[in-house]
Amino acid sequence: MSLKERITEDMKNAMRAKDTERLGTIRLLLAALKQREVDERIVLDDAAVVAITDKLIKQRKDSISQFQAANRHDLADKEAAEIVVLQAYMPQQLSAEEVAAAVKAAVEQTGATGAQEMGRVMAVLKAQLAGRADMTAVSAQVKAALSGAK
């Protein structure tokens, strides 16, 4: 069963269980998937579904910080609940050690020696780690590794 089919089944189950919060979040995800399929005239594979889900999670995290800054904890809590639902469709996150090993391997693979070559290293890592690691943290590790490589 593809990830998109699993999301559709979860929507049906949420409808049967009358779980309105979960249902709303799943419908938002399915709408984002359908929008991408219509816009680009493609059928999404699991990697594309993960990428879209990751983007929605990032949007929710940004919203949470904005809502907390505006002292709107009720809306921040709603966004946090949506993140929990969306993360069920993400692959297992890598540990810090696994990410560090992947960064080291990518630096060695590309032969990068300085910060100016960070883009090449990140391109390799993005393909390997998309959806399985926080790319902001990965970027910081790459920067540290390349500054130490000089």
- Predicted pLDDT of residue 150: 46
- Reading the block at residue 8, the tokens are 């559709």
- Predicted pLDDT of residue 23: 97
Q: What is the CATH number of the domain that holds 21?
A: 1.10.1510.10
Per the prediction, the chain carries an average pLDDT of 92
Q: Where in the sequence is the domain holding 125, given as residue range(s)?
A: 96-148
Same domain, yes or no: 78 and 102:
no
Same domain, yes or no: 11 and 78:
yes
Same domain, yes or no: 62 and 79:
yes
Same domain, yes or no: 83 and 23:
yes
Q: Which residues of the chain have pLDDT under 50?
A: 150
CB 112 within 8 A of CB 146: yes
- Predicted pLDDT of residue 55: 93
Phi, psi of 145 (to 5 degrees): -65, -40
Q: What is the pLDDT of residues 20-38, one digit of tens each?
A: 999 999 999 999 999 999 9
Same domain, yes or no: 81 and 103:
no
Same domain, yes or no: 78 and 115:
no
Number of domains the chain is built from: 2
> Which residues have a Cβ under 8 Å from the Cβ of 70 and sit 6 or more positions away?
none
